Amino acid sequence: MNNFEKDIRKNAINQLDNASSVVVSTAVTSIGHSIKSRFVNDDLDLFLVISRESITAAHLNFNHLVNVCICDDETDSGSVSLSGEISKITDDEEIHRILEKWNGKYPDHPISGELNDKLVVKVLPRRIDIQHDEREDSLVLSVENELIRRFVSTILLKLKLISAILRAPFFTASIAPVILGASIAFHQRGMLNWWTFLLTLIGSITAHAAANVINDYYDHCSGNDEMNIYHNAFSGGSRMIQNKIITPEKTYFIAVFLFVITILIGLYLNSVTNGSIILYIGIIGVILGFTYSASPLKLSYRGIGEMAIVVSFGPLIVVGAYYVQVQSLDLMPLLASIPNGILVGLILLINEFQDMTADQAAGKNTIVVQLKKKKRSLLIYKISLISVFIWLLGCTIAGIFPLWTLITLIAIPMIKKAFRIASAHYEKIWELLPANALTIGIHLMTTLLFALAFILDVFI
């Protein structure tokens, strides 16, 4: 390191040592966000304590690059900014050491006790810029294998961002019914057209993603998501707009783009199948997906959103996936679609428990809001879930479904656990979350096992 580089480092460290706060700027897309924050430092490494619910923390999930400007102007050496990477610190000993240093620097603003609502993060500088009156000095702090590591990290974070915008973890609700419909077709024909199956699967996912994104847009417009202080992984939307990651306008554009892809796939599938059944199913599906939260119908605000979900993820997807394979209608896929539709509806229902306060304020008349008491909604949840297995068992005994359908009873322990958690915590927010997760698992396991029953009946 030459004298010029040493002087830049020394200047930056000197200003950090004498500053009491910095401005930390983050961005995921084109929207920037800045906060003024206290900090402590070791040499050029900065340590911050931020709220887990802050926009900065949300940005950290999708982009680790930050810019830090020193606020205090204690010297005449020029303003200093540091560009680098920010990462969460999880080691307890390291956190304890940082907090001790923090409390020594800020005795009037100490941090003690549990950090449940806060994150301790480290900013590792990669570039130093010092702005003088007449010039700017810069120093790049090189790191071995930096380009390869950053490239891989960027790709993974972009995929994570796309997944979050589309709410991809919920795609099981649209994937499983396609598999069920195709399995019923295989049961009847003994073969599958894998190309149309793949297109049906993609079309189902893009339709689901489009509905998710347009729902984020209109729940933002109504103020519903902004009012939701109990947002979590299962409810309250993706938070992409609220966390200043994408604009409402871009959210709307993404939704329309996804709907267009869905329509194009639907038109192609309709062109390679008999009649116009896929066209009719597609039209109904797109209308329900768009108007679930979009004006003027706003189905979810008028008390019929849950029924729209049951119809969309039940008969429409299962019968549609069956029809593109067999190209004729049959009662079997319709009867088999009912349990899947109800189970997806129950995912929505249990998620509405945490959203009740915000939904009431926004005028969103979900089942939970209409019934006014969560205990009544819990009863509907339990009765509906039990009815799914009564239906499966009854149709199996009647000889409508294969005997192998009885393997769906494997899900009973999950149901019992979901009932136990929901019964104990239906009035609570965070304690109910395991029941939300279990409901998703019950749907996925039951529907896939049901699909497997049709396949096993062919071979065994």
Summarised one tens digit per residue, pLDDT across range 124-176 is: 998 998 887 677 888 888 665 677 877 888 899 999 999 999 999 999 999 99
Q: Enumerate domains of the chain plus CATH numbers.
A: 3-143 (2.30.110.10), 167-459 (no CATH)
Q: Is the pLDDT of residue 76 over 50?
A: no
For residues 321-347, give the mean pLDDT.
97
Task: Please tell me the distance from the alpha carbon of residue 47 to that of residue 40, in angstroms, as a whole number.
Answer: 5
The pLDDT of residue 150: 78
Task: Please tell me the distance from the alpha carbon of residue 284 to that of residue 279, in angstroms, as a whole number.
Answer: 9
Using pLDDT thresholds of 50, 70 and 90, give the confidence band for residue 308: very high
Q: 397-421: per-residue pLDDT in tens?
A: 999 999 999 999 999 999 999 999 9
| Side-chain half-sphere exposure of 439, counting CA atoms within 13 A | 29
Please report, as a single letter, which amino acid is at residue 8. Answer: I
Q: Is the pLDDT of residue 77 over 60?
A: no
Beta-carbon neighbour count of residue 340 at 10 Å?
26
Is 12 or 284 the better-scoring residue by pLDDT? 284
Using pLDDT thresholds of 50, 70 and 90, give the confidence band for residue 262: very high
Using pLDDT thresholds of 50, 70 and 90, give the confidence band for residue 283: very high
For residues 360-369, give the mean pLDDT.
94
Q: Is the pLDDT of residue 228 over 50?
A: yes
Task: Please tell me the distance from the alpha carbon of residue 194 to that of residue 178, in angstroms, as a whole number.
Answer: 12
- Full-model pTM: 0.92
Q: Is the pLDDT of residue 74 over 60?
A: no
Q: Report the share of the chain in percent with pLDDT over 70.
A: 97
The pLDDT of residue 199: 98
For residues 315-343, give the mean pLDDT.
97
Triad 214, 215, 217: Cα angle to 5°: 65
Peptide bond into 402 cis (omega under 30): no
The pLDDT of residue 6: 85
CB 436 within 8 A of CB 351: yes
Q: 417-432: per-residue pLDDT in tens?
A: 999 999 999 999 999 9
| Side-chain half-sphere exposure of 310, counting CA atoms within 13 A | 14
Task: Please tell me the distance from the alpha carbon of residue 79 to that of residue 201, in angstroms, as a whole number.
Answer: 55
Question: What angle do helix axes 317-326 and 194-221 make, rounded to 10 degrees?
Answer: 160
Mean pLDDT of the chain: 93
Using pLDDT thresholds of 50, 70 and 90, give the confidence band for residue 114: confident
The pLDDT of residue 356: 95
Q: 39-68: per-residue pLDDT in tens?
A: 999 999 999 999 999 999 999 999 999 999
| Side-chain half-sphere exposure of 249, counting CA atoms within 13 A | 2
CB 308 within 8 A of CB 211: no
Task: Please tell me the distance from the alpha carbon of residue 460 to that of residue 456, in angstroms, as a whole number.
Answer: 6
